Amino acid sequence: MQVTIQRAALSGELKAIASKSHAHRLLICAALSQQPSKVLCSETSQDIEATADCLNALGAQIRRENDYFSVVPVWKALQKERKLYCRESGSTLRFLLPVACALGGSTQFYGEGRLPQRPLSPLYEQLQLHGCTLSPQAQTPLCCSGALHSGAYELPGNVSSQFTSGLLFALPLLEGDSTLRLTGKVESLPYIQMTLQALEQTGICIRQQGQTFQIAGGQYYQAPEICKVEGDWSNAAFWLCAGALQGKGICCNGLWADSLQGDRRVLSLLRQFGAQVEQAKDACRVAPAPLHGIEIDAGNIPDLVPILSVVACAAQGQTHIYNAGRLRIKESDRLQTVYEVLHTLGAEVQLQEDGFIIQGKGKLQGGVVQAYGDHRIAMMAAIAACLCTEPVVICGAEAVNKSYPGFFADMQQLGAQLKKENA
């Protein structure tokens, strides 16, 4: 799909969609529980559906019903060879690979796009060290067999937090006790905290001492009868940042002020840029004001980098975004693709090994850009159109379906003039 967007000031109010990160976690906990439950989730997406489908393949019965998922848990893991289709969802694969190993049996994981090439080390080696046999990485399907053993696990803290979360889901299912130690500096800590919160709400006890987690074996998941997925700060960040660019401001409802989502930090960063920011218990509003360049450590907020780069283009002076090297192993090499899109649109941007230096000029010129099969690149390009003197044409704009199928409809609601065409 090709989308052409004319420059327009976005203004208005909308409700944040359900958090993809939170939905993954609640669905997994519900599927591993001892009783049926409902997961209230106002919207879905390709990634959320991938997790639900894979949990069904493991033996759960998850159905979409209006604005919620009904979940009948995995009473007994299917012992036949299981085929799990993760689509392009890295969260689905990294969360459920350890879970499948804990349940035992033989499982095949299929991935699409760049997913088969995205690294699984050092989680891959830890699973092998503890009783599982896995086929070579970077091939599809990824086959695993055997049964995961309890024991001492160790992961570097600066790799994907999804590896840590996957083990935290799996290890309580084992008979014996385990420890999980994170070495070095821990990044994306908020996502680990989200996992721990979901586990606690489901009756799983994990003790944390510094960077070591003590996980008792033989635990049982006890999901509440009804649980609710909170609003998505990662996707709402695109609207909040758009509100800082021009127009009368944008208000997003349904965002929990006490959320553990790391991308809630978008508000403090917009304040540092100079934007007007107002926050209530479950809503926030951002409006334009003179913007200036800032320093951004992206270690805990990698998903914010694309849209913050657009704000940097609107700000006067230099913005330095660093500690974002992990973006190279996302749906695209997200450092390279952010650079390519912004450079094409006329930004003064310097690509570095782990980030960018952007000289803000207040406006961009427009042009034809690729989404590179990456939902956040497509959404970034769309918001960048607010700064462009000429239209922006996004090729492969259907990439938004991965996390936010209604993105362009919501953009129109806020005043955008756009045209969709089948490429």
- pLDDT grade for 77, boundaries at 50, 70 and 90: low
Q: Is residue 11, in this structure, part of any structural domain at all?
A: yes
For residue 208, give the 3-state DSSP assignment: strand
For residue 185, give the 3-state DSSP assignment: coil
Task: Encode pLDDT of 56-70 as tens digits.
Answer: 999 999 999 999 999
- pLDDT grade for 80, boundaries at 50, 70 and 90: confident
Mean pLDDT of 209-236: 96
Give the tokens for residue 131. 């009783």
Q: 330 near 364, Cβ under 8 Å?
A: no
- Say how many domains are in the chain: 2
Round to whole Å and give the CA distance between 257 and 250: 17
Task: Encode pLDDT of 323-362 as tens digits.
Answer: 999 899 899 999 999 999 999 999 999 999 999 999 999 9
101 & 185 share domain: yes
pLDDT at 281 over 90: no
192 & 260 share domain: no
Task: Encode pLDDT of 81-94 as tens digits.
Answer: 899 999 999 999 99
208 & 70 share domain: yes
Give the tokens for residue 382. 């769309």
Whole-number Cα distances in Å, 103 to 2, 35, 144, 204: 43, 18, 11, 17
Write down the number of H helices and E strands in the chain: 12, 24
205 & 302 share domain: no
Res 182: pLDDT: 97
160 & 297 share domain: no
- pLDDT grade for 206, boundaries at 50, 70 and 90: very high
The CATH number for 195's domain is: 3.65.10.10
pLDDT at 42 over 70: yes
pLDDT at 164 over 80: yes
Round to whole Å and give the CA distance between 255 and 231: 5
Q: Is residue 225, in this structure, part of any structural domain at all?
A: no
- The phi, psi pair for 220, rounded to 5°, reads -125, 130
254 & 402 share domain: yes
347 & 361 share domain: yes
In one-letter notation, the amino acid at residue 96 is L
What residues are labeled active site?
Answer: 303
Task: Encode pLDDT of 309-318 as tens digits.
Answer: 999 999 999 9
68 & 28 share domain: yes
Residue ending a domain, choose from 153, 183, 216: 216
Res 81: pLDDT: 84
Q: Is residue 201, in this structure, part of any structural domain at all?
A: yes
Q: Is residue 195, in this structure, part of any structural domain at all?
A: yes
Mean pLDDT score of the chain, rounded to an integer?
A: 95
Give the tokens for residue 349. 């941007």
Residue 408: which domain range? Answer: 2-17+230-421
Q: Is residue 224, in this structure, part of any structural domain at all?
A: no
Round to whole Å and give the CA distance between 414 and 249: 10
List the one residue out of 55, 63, 58, 126 whose CA is nearest residue 91: 55
> Among 75-79, 113-117, 408-412, which is the least confidently predicted range?
75-79
The phi-psi region of residue 346 (left if phi > 0; otherwise alpha if psi is between -120 and 50; otherwise beta) is left
CB-hemisphere CA count at 13 Å for 114? 14
Task: Encode pLDDT of 252-274 as tens digits.
Answer: 999 999 999 999 999 999 999 99
Q: Is residue 90, in this structure, part of any structural domain at all?
A: yes
How do 61-65 and 37-40 pair as beta strands?
unpaired
Res 378: pLDDT: 98
249 & 197 share domain: no
pLDDT at 11 over 80: yes
- pLDDT grade for 280, boundaries at 50, 70 and 90: confident
- Element of type H or E holding 421: strand 417-421
Mean pLDDT of 210-215: 97
251 & 107 share domain: no
157 & 266 share domain: no
277 & 211 share domain: no
For residue 317, give the 3-state DSSP assignment: strand
Could you tell me which residues come within 8 angstroms of residue 404 by beta carbon, excluding any fewer than 6 positions away? 17, 45, 235, 375, 379
Residue ending a domain, choose from 192, 216, 240: 216
Round to whole Å and give the CA distance between 51 and 403: 12
Mean pLDDT of 366-373: 97
Q: Which DSSP symbol is given to 12?
A: E
Q: Is residue 222, in this structure, part of any structural domain at all?
A: no
Q: 110 near 86, Cβ under 8 Å?
A: yes
Token pair 């052409």: residue? 4
- pLDDT grade for 7, boundaries at 50, 70 and 90: confident
Question: Which is it for the CA torsion 221, 93, 27, 61, positive or negative?
Answer: negative
Mean pLDDT of 74-78: 72
